[in-house]
Chains A and B, each alone.
Chain A
Amino acid sequence: MSKYLLDKFLYTVDRDPELVERYREDPAGLVTWWESEMANSILNCHGDERSTWLAFTDEERTALREHDHVTLFEMGAHPFLTLTLFIAMFERDHGPLEYQIAYGKAMEHLTLPYPDIAT
């Protein structure tokens, strides 16, 4: 399991308005494209200087494709990144704070200690 790669996905999508929309509209397509094109790109480097070893597990890929923020939390993805991106995608469909409150409620079965987010 690679918490780092999950975080890298959330981070690179959240900061790019076009990718936010693609992930909202076509999560399976965006995750496939991202893993093929972005997972091994080193963010501050020329495109030819790529990593060779980063890939999602089946469980991680499924959680991302299903917009499953609860499972992402349980996997130790950084909760700030997940929250920010999911607010960007789905707050617009709800009244003020309605989405944020529902997001927390979907996790109410979770108790301390929360999953470790160290990468």
Chain B
Amino acid sequence: MATVCAVIASTHHPFYYRASTSTGADRPPFADEWVAKIETFRETLTKARPDVLVMVGSDHFHQLWLDNMPQFLVGKAPYFDANWYNEEREFGLPRMTLAGDEELATHILRNGLDADFDLAFSNELRIDHSITCPIITLRPEADLPIVPIYTNIFAPPLPRPQRFVDLGKAIRAMVESWPSDKRVAIIGTGHLSLELGGPRQFGEHGPDPEFDRKAVEWIANGDLEGCCGDVTLDSLHLPGNATHGFMDFMLMMGVAGEGQKADHVDSLDLFHTMEAYFTWYPEGVPTP
């Protein structure tokens, strides 16, 4: 059976690419520290020697739209083109093409449906920065096949937080039951407190530093009980109007498992939103 060689949860800050590649007067003062943290984070994936990446993210009204909106969707295609005109325009993100692993996607779709997750699928999916940002930060060679899994954290009505946790647990079990000798890293990105298009946006810190502090602690300790006891669909409006993206972190806590402490924890307090990075090694920390 396949091995889950790493579980990784991260924010997906679309400004990283531009900040990390800019030079001279264009380079923001926080860029060097940010790059150093990302390079350390990247090493946690490299050390796990993955063959395939399961990538959990959320389409930001790019291909998925309100006339036909899935709650959870698996991409099953030989290739995925990536990034959109409005992401090039606003964030300077490059166009990319990533290979897909159709065999693992087929396995996840079949077993997800049989486990009562009515997963939608796409055979032609152009993915966006929720998946390409972690490729850029964690695997900039973009040389591994992926299985993208999109969640709806964006267009209400949304699934409740517990559903994200349960899907995360199911994804972990499905990867582990895949009849393959491949090493699979499961990577998901979301947000801590975040406000977009409202009065609390683009502040000196994220809109709710106290929520961010609690959230980092929940994730780092695998404290699903504490997190699920505190977080509801309604409560997520309070830290910032885009904070429902935190449910993708909850999904990744489900992948990592109840009570599993992360082997790598880091964060960076930036303007607008806090960055946070977590890696778990289900087999134990890899030795060089």
Contact = CB atoms under 8 A, between A and B. Distances in A.
Interface stretch (B82-90, B103-111, B222-230): B82-90
A104 B196 CA distance: 9
Interface residues of A, number: 38
A87 interface: yes
Interface in A1-48: 4, 7-8, 11, 14-15, 17, 42-44
Contact of A80 (B89, B196, B271): B196
B85 to A, nearest CB: 6
Given A15-B85, A84-B86, A88-B90, A79 B196 contact: yes
Interface size for chain B: under 10, 10 to 19, 20 to 34, or 35 or more residues?
A: 20 to 34
A101 B204 CA distance: 10
Interface string A54-95: 000000000000000100010000111111100110000000
B284 interface: no
Contact of A114 (B67, B157, B237): B237
Nearest to A97: B202
A112 B243 CA distance: 14
Contacts of B66: 4, 7-8, 11, 119
Contacts of B203: 104
Contacts of A112: 237-238
B156 A81 contact: no
A7 B60 CA distance: 13
Given A88-B86, A113-B237, A119 B198 contact: no
B197 A83 contact: yes
Interface in B95-141: none
Contact of B156 (A73, A105, A108, A117): A117
Contacts of B90: 84, 87-88
A4 B38 CA distance: 39
A107 B199 CA distance: 5
A96 to B, nearest CB: 9
Contacts of B196: 79-80, 83
A7 B241 CA distance: 17
B201 interface: yes
B202 A110 contact: no
Contacts of A8: 66
Given A112-B237, A118-B156, A88 B198 contact: no
Contact of A110 (B62, B67, B198): B198
Q: Closest 8 A-B residue pairs measured CB to CB?
A: A79-B197, A83-B197, A107-B199, A118-B156, A100-B202, A104-B201, A108-B199, A80-B196
30 contacts: A4-B66, A11-B66, A14-B86, A15-B84, A15-B86, A78-B197, A79-B196, A79-B241, A79-B242, A80-B61, A80-B242, A81-B61, A83-B201, A84-B90, A88-B90, A97-B271, A100-B201, A100-B202, A101-B202, A104-B199, A104-B201, A107-B198, A107-B199, A108-B199, A112-B238, A113-B237, A114-B198, A116-B156, A118-B156, A118-B157
